[in-house]
Amino acid sequence: MRFFSHDRSLLRSTMATLSDQWPLLLAGPILRRVDPELVAVWVALKEPRAVRLRVWQGIIDAGVGMGTFEGPAPLSQGGTFTRRVGDHLNVALVVARPQAPLLPGTLYSYNVSLAKVDPPAGGGEPDLAHFTAAEDLKSIGLLLPASGLGLPHEPLGYQPGFLPTFATAPADLEDLRILHGSCRLIGLEGNDGLSWVDDLILEWFDDPNHDARTRPHQIFHTGDQIYADDVPVSFLAMINAVGRELIGTAPPDRQTAPPREHVPTRYPFIMDPKLVKVMQDPLEKAAAQDNIKLANELFNADPDKAAKALKRRMAQASRLNDPCQTIQLSLLAGGLMQQGSDVVLRRDPDIVVSKDGSVNLWPADLLHFPAGLRANLMKCEAKFTSGLETDVDRSVGHLISVGEYCAMYLLMWSNACWSFQPAAKETDPPAKPTLPDLKAVFDVPVLEIL
């Protein structure tokens, strides 16, 4: 008989096969830096690749046909291999260094090409003389507006078939145009501010002179580019699912296996013999077998009672900020199990316990770090102060794992990892994103008699 029950498969498989629907390019290309001696472009890919960056002076029309674009001899090129972050996340910062410095106040175009090779363990650069592009910005459709059946996007070059462009800083400081922004906040009401940047560049394209001195030259985001400490709780189900898929899960069952990533905590987990003995108390068994009311009476029992050890353990577990202490116990120990005539605590097999029991590694999923229940964890364990100065404690949805941070960056800077409800036909309006239902967000362990 199992008393504390939760559906692990729901919390772990909501988007477990989402990567099968993702395109190769998860985010980018993002022009990270331009100065007279280099051009740096960042991309995030679902699979490992060799990456080549080519730069031309002026506007380049790559055409609207099929296949990749080679074009005329580039002004500069550079190459690199992606670096593996997780099972479905590979990133690269590719740099092209021109032989002669880039000219001030001048327009340049660039293309990113990909080759299907396994990146060498020691890193290095691909042989560009024998680089065979399997994909590029043209072949994967980013130079054309998306059809109603695909992920909504506009042409990267602002005109169909055009390569993306940038303008170098002008020689005259009075001509320099700088844009300033902060972090991208998903829960903020209003329009996306970066769309205003698109409007400025589109207005520049309407001018047939295409004067590089009159378009934006640089944009500065003086922040962390995302909000890790102000995340809508309802958004955490998608973030965590995407993060787990990016990093990967432990074999063999991809649908129900725990995440590969674990987060260290000092929360108590090993059940000492004294506590096991306490669990054999008749009042303990009655509480587990009857209802939460009796359990609460147990938790509030006189310290001299046999439940003192359990109450102390529950006080430690309350840092999870879960208002229901029975849920906290289930998170902490995996549940109560009937063994013969005794009710004992069952060890969660997915939690990795250190040899001395001081630090435990908890799977980075919503089962062990529930949505909306993270505030005390962030304050007491991580020692974060975010949200303390506001009336609303936003740390209840604070990002925790590396996978969640990676997912947040990709979801904020690209729609490739969003789940979309596809349009029925090409003439329909663009696809709209679909979000997990509330059960996927808030489904945490509950007390049941099975």
| 84 vs 257, higher pLDDT | 84
Which pLDDT score, from 0 to 100, does residue 9 have?
A: 43
Q: Scanning the structure block, which residue is given the tokens 């001395």?
A: 356
Of 329, 400, 395, give the one whose Cα is nearest residue 364.
400
Q: Judging by beta carbons within 10 Å of its beta carbon (0-12, 13-18, 19+), is residue 206 exposed, middle or buried?
A: exposed
Whether 97 is in a domain gets the answer yes
In one-letter notation, the amino acid at residue 314 is M
User: What is the total count of domains within the chain?
Assistant: 1
Q: Inform me whether the pLDDT recorded for 16 exceeds 70.
A: no
d(CA 360, CA 330): 16
Cis peptide before 145 (omega within 30 of 0): no
Residue 292 lies in a domain: no
Q: 169-201 pLDDT, tens per residue?
A: 999 999 999 999 888 887 777 778 888 898 999
Residue located via tokens 């106040």: 105
**Residue 268 placed within a domain:** no
Q: The domain containing residue 80 runs over which residues?
A: 21-173
pTM (predicted TM-score): 0.78
- % of the chain at pLDDT higher than 90: 36
pLDDT tens by residue, 50-62: 999 999 999 999 9
Report the Cα–Cα distance between both ends of the chain, in Å, rounded: 6
Q: Average pLDDT over the chain, rounded to whole?
A: 75
Q: The tokens of 45 are what?
A: 């890919």
**Residue 138: inside a domain:** yes
In a domain, 351, yes or no: no
**Rounded Cα distance, 282 and 259, in Å:** 37
The domain spanning residue 56 has which CATH number?
A: 2.60.40
Is residue 29, in this structure, part of any structural domain at all?
yes
Model pLDDT, residue 19: 84
Q: Is residue 377 part of a domain?
A: no
**pLDDT grade, residue 79 (50/70/90)?**
very high
* Burial annotation 373-409 (CB, 10 A radius, 16+ → b, else e): bbbbbbbbbeebebbeeeeebbbbbbbbbbbbbbbbb
- The reply to whether 186 falls in a domain is no
Confidence band of 292 (pLDDT split at 50, 70, 90): very low
Which residues are CB-contacts of 347 (< 8 A; sequence separation ≥ 6)? Answer: 269, 271, 333, 334
For the ranges 146-150, 257-261, 278-282, the maximum mean pLDDT occurs at 257-261
Amino acid 442 reads: F
C-alpha span between 336 and 329 (Å, rounded): 9
Is the pLDDT assigned to residue 310 strictly greater than 60? no
